[in-house]
A and B are shown apart, each in its own frame.
Chain A
Amino acid sequence: GENVEQHPSTLSVQEGDSAVIKCTYSDSASNYFPWYKQELGKRPQLIIDIRSNVGEKKDQRIAVTLNKTAKHFSLHITETQPEDSAVYFCAASFYGGSQGNLIFGKGTKLSVKP
């Protein structure tokens, strides 16, 4: 079946460094790619998303890039802060059934050390 691979599974950086999380998807029809942040004990929350007609999108310290040809997309966090510590999930749209849904990667646990 269709899937989304996410790497790395854990990532530890020093405060102020950059962090990059990469995802690959298998369905060439995927056209929507959101990223979610889940803090400990809380619900996943959308932090940024990108559609297939755009190659890059930025929102302050967060950016997402998309390479449709290679079927991969990445999350970039610059100037990391301790409050960026969380689990991050990528997702890709999938239209295998009669209606679309999202398939998620397995998550990346980011730790930012002060």
Chain B
Amino acid sequence: DVKVTQSSRYLVKRTGEKVFLECVQDMDHENMFWYRQDPGLGLRLIYFSYDVKMKEKGDIPEGYSVSREKKERFSLILESASTNQTSMYLCASSVTGGRSPLHFGNGTRLTVT
């Protein structure tokens, strides 16, 4: 069974801090994704990566960056956290982008105060 692990379940950060959200998958998947989930807005794609050191912007990349130095690890970076980035962040991986199921992590609930 595919396992996608997000390093933190809950995080509380202050405005202006640099925040790192880490995600690791154990199935050698090429593709990894970061989504943001807000009530009434569904799942919105922030960034995704289709190979090591390769990345592509999703629908809402502003204020975020990503890093993929190793195939199994995909990090989401909030350069300067703001209160409007308070949200649930979901990492996912898949064999192929857009043509195969996504396997999600448990999510990180980030609160920026």
Contact = CB atoms under 8 A, between A and B. Distances in A.
Given A97-B56, A99-B48, A105-B42, A43 B104 contact: yes
Interface string A75-92: 000000000000001010
Contacts of B96: 100
Interface string A47-62: 0010000000000000
Interface string A9-26: 100000000000000000
A1 interface: yes
Given A43-B90, A43-B105, A44-B90, A100 B56 contact: no
A103 interface: yes
A46 B96 CA distance: 15
A102 interface: yes
B97 to A, nearest CB: 4
Contact of A95 (B33, B98, B102): B98
**Size bracket of the A interface:** 20 to 34
Contacts, number: 66
A100 B101 contact: no
Given A101-B33, A101-B45, A93 B98 contact: yes
A9 B107 CA distance: 22
B62 interface: no
Interface of B: 31, 33, 35, 40-45, 48, 50, 56-59, 90, 96-102, 104-107
Interface of A: 1, 6, 9, 31-32, 34, 36, 42-46, 49, 89, 91, 93-95, 97-107
Given A34-B102, A94-B98, 20 more contacts: A43-B90, A43-B106, A44-B102, A44-B104, A46-B101, A46-B102, A89-B42, A95-B98, A97-B57, A99-B31, A99-B56, A99-B98, A100-B97, A101-B48, A101-B97, A103-B45, A103-B59, A104-B43, A106-B40, A107-B42
